[in-house]
Chains A and B, each alone.
Chain A
Amino acid sequence: MMVAEDNGSFGRRSATSRAGFFKKLYTEYGQEIVILGAIIVLLIVVGSYNPRFLSVRNLNTIFAGNAYIAVAAIGMSMVIITGHIDVSVGALIGVLATISGTIAVSGYPVWLAWLAPVVIGAAINMVVGILVAYARIPSIVVTLGMMSILRGGLISVTGGDWISGLPKSFMISQLKPFGVPAPIYFMVALTLLAAFWMRYSAFGRSLYAMGGNAEAARATGIPIERRTMIVFMIHGAFAGLATILFATQLQIIQSTVPPNLELTVITAAVIGGVSILGGTGTVIGSTFAAILFATIGSALIFTNVSAYWLRAVIGTLILVTVLVDVMRRRNKR
């Protein structure tokens, strides 16, 4: 009896039929598909209630205005998949925006103002990565400290002044090649690039291994410390890219950090299916989640529900997602 059963499990061959393909797609990208479905349903329902919701202009606003959150969430997903967390990303974006803006108004070439946040973001997060990987300080402690330093530094250096008079050539977010705002190109390209890299490169795959079981990853011969540091640097570079999209939206750069930005970014990653315990998730999911948040926000306005309920809706959404996930895992056992 038992023997037969075990032979059975060894003998299972996965079906390669069309149904099998969709089933595989679902087991692999279940969370991503659910979120995408939610976005589409939302677009259809709200669009039929108020057609202006689906106007090109509004869609552009939804996607372009929040692209920087999606870009930042890509790096955050990588960090979380590796089994760490970063609560300083909001402060980092604030600091990088100020640096970039200062360079732009000081008459330096505009490419320097674009390059600087990416390089400096990677450099700052290299420090974080070294402390986490080599000094073995928990990432939440390191990044809490970094957040205080960055915020404090920002306030004492700028004294709360805003930067204005930004040169027109600096405003990359306001470009519209082929009628589509530039941030959308960035968001799509960076997401695909990162997803491809996480899925097919040896480095990307090793991040899942490190987040899933660090000791086993070490036994396999993965240089955990170096890769942890590099992941933080990549995350810093993505924060830099997000900064460019964020800072070039408006004519002024506030010297304050958008409140709770780090939590929004973390939430996008988590809702996108990245397990906070590390080891699972994809960057596509986090981008979808960022889009979903933006869509909900806009939908509330177009259905005449006060936008002030946005956060309550998102909170409920997170809670439901998490509880469903927990229940599903419990049933599996």
Chain B
Amino acid sequence: MIKILSGLHAPDSGGVIEIEGQPVSFSTTRDASRAGIATVYQELLLFPELTITENIFLGHSPRRRWGGIDWAEARSRARRLLDSLDCYALDTDTKVSTLSVAQRQRVEIAKALSHDARVLIMDEPTASLPQADVDQLMDVVKKLRAQGVAIIYVSHRMSEIFELADRVTVLRDGALIGTHAIDEVDEAKLVSMMVGRAIEQLFPKVEPNIGEVVFEAEGLNCGPLVKNVSFSLRRGEILGVAGLIGSGRTELALALFGITPATSGTIRVKGKQEVIRSPRSARDLGIAYVPEDRGLQGLVKPLPISQNISMASLDRMTTFSIIPFAEEARRALAAVKRLGVRSRGDVHQAVGELSGGNQQKVVVAKWLETQPEILILDEPTRGVDVGAKAEIHAVMGELAQKGLAIIMISSELPEVLGMSDRIMVINNGSVVETIDRADATPESVGMAMTAEQKKMDAA
């Protein structure tokens, strides 16, 4: 959607975009910027080795008469743009690689504004910012609005929507659900518009069957985002891990799985003290990790379903390193059937051709082949359509019932609340609270997620 508006992708069919009453169509980003639309993308598109000025004016620098770049003019215009964004002290000749994320974002906004944009599209601008920077950004956005720039602000954070928006439009699975003035809606109404179905259907929670403790962590440390983390996990339990993006949830998972081994602290698996040095040693202890980034970390997309499913358990299948192909295909087929992966018929189809939900099921299947006892799921339903989401939740419930201990990391509060038996809230690398299912409400979890930062703001 955003990419169509900004001209990066052309619309497939129909649809007229009008700007100040004029229908326009753009096939390139240049067309879009000429029409006065500028975009600040979710992932920042800056060039680290170039200076701030160069980044802002790349492709449309002010020219001298003979065609060379007028650097003095470019610098002074960059200066004015930065000043208008409250960045009075940022030097225009600094290389972007030395800036913080928040500073880069300001440069990105300045770059968008340098096109004399009348419409500014901001796609999840706060996704990777700490709270203090979010507040500053809010001020900048309000200031721009006061200057008469129309802003399309894409976000899934309710508080930002309510703080900034005049009108709100809800999209789901590429379709328009509705547009309302902000005072016509409340949070509950927005959530139901976004989810589109009753919460019970989406989170088919089965009665848990909780057994003895299988995993304990004590005082784990790893980098700046895992600080003195202790928790325990029982057989059959789903432990939800809640926290803002950048709070250290994934870093904890990576430490537990041995990608970035913990630098101190103890881990006990089934009462026995163990050291996890690599993904392989984690696997041999019965720990499995379904990673956050499915395409990059979870799957080898060009390889067929069968080879992806056997990937983590290959060395247990082979004799003298030779792969039993028939056995591999048979096992994959069984796994595909068990999890309901919909493919074009056989297990030799490349995984990349499957839909997001089915790809995720393949990752889960891969790790179930290792017969784990502890399953870590990192954002298990990100980028998955609603139907497959419910199916994945059903599979989780089933696995827990069979005695698997599950750690589920999720940014979606309804998912955490709907699926977990206990919720561990992480904030800035530390566990701030562990809440039982019975006591967990959106308010209590949300408070814990942001508590620390509110304290800081007060100070």
Contacts and interface: CB of A to CB of B under 8 A. Distances in A.
Nearest to A13: B89
Contacts of A201: 68-69
A217 to B, nearest CB: 8
B45 A3 contact: no
Interface stretch (A38-46, A219-227, A256-264, A286-294): A219-227
B214 interface: no
A17 interface: no
Interface residues of A, number: 29
B48 A212 contact: yes
A216 B46 contact: yes
Nearest to A280: B49
Interface in A188-229: 200-202, 205-206, 208-209, 212-213, 215-217, 219-222
Nearest to B96: A212
A205 B52 CA distance: 13
B29 interface: yes
Contact of B91 (A3, A9, A14, A215): A14
Contact of A221 (B28, B61, B94): B28
A205 B56 CA distance: 12
A202 B69 CA distance: 7
A63 to B, nearest CB: 30
A1 interface: yes
Interface string A31-70: 0000000000000000000000000000000000000000
B459 interface: yes
Interface string B71-91: 100000000000000010111
A220 B68 contact: no
Interface in B7-56: 8, 28-30, 33, 41, 45-50, 54
B321 interface: no
Contact of B45 (A9, A14, A216, A280): A216
A305 B291 CA distance: 56
Contacts of B130: 2, 6
Interface in A15-37: 27
Interface string A145-158: 00000000000000
A206 B59 contact: yes
A201 B457 CA distance: 46
A208 B45 CA distance: 14
B459 to A, nearest CB: 7
A212 B29 contact: no
Contacts of B33: 221
B49 A3 contact: no
Nearest to B459: A1
Contacts of A279: 47-49
B91 A13 contact: yes
Nearest to B31: A221
Contacts of A221: 28-30, 33, 59-60
A216 B47 contact: yes
Contacts of A200: 68-69, 71
Contacts of A219: 8, 29, 41, 45
B100 interface: yes
Contacts of B45: 213, 215-216, 219-220
A3 B456 contact: yes
Nearest to A212: B47
Contacts of A178: none
Contacts of B30: 221
Given A2-B130, A205-B58, A213 B47 contact: yes
B103 interface: yes
A35 B458 CA distance: 52
Given A9-B100, A221-B59, A222-B59, A208 B132 contact: no
B315 interface: no
B346 interface: no
A2 B28 contact: no
Given A12-B89, A201-B68, A208 B47 contact: yes
B112 to A, nearest CB: 11
A221 B90 CA distance: 26
A208 B97 CA distance: 13
Nearest to B61: A202
Contact of B132 (A6, A14, A202): A6
Nearest to A15: B91
Given A27-B95, A212-B50, A280-B49, 11 more contacts: A3-B456, A6-B100, A6-B132, A9-B100, A202-B69, A205-B50, A212-B49, A213-B47, A219-B45, A221-B59, A222-B58
A-B CB proximity, top 3 nearest: A216-B45, A221-B30, A14-B91
Interface of A: 1-3, 6, 9-14, 27, 200-202, 205-206, 208-209, 212-213, 215-217, 219-222, 279-280
Interface of B: 8, 28-30, 33, 41, 45-50, 54, 58-61, 68-69, 71, 87, 89-91, 93-95, 100, 102-103, 130, 132-133, 136, 453, 456-457, 459
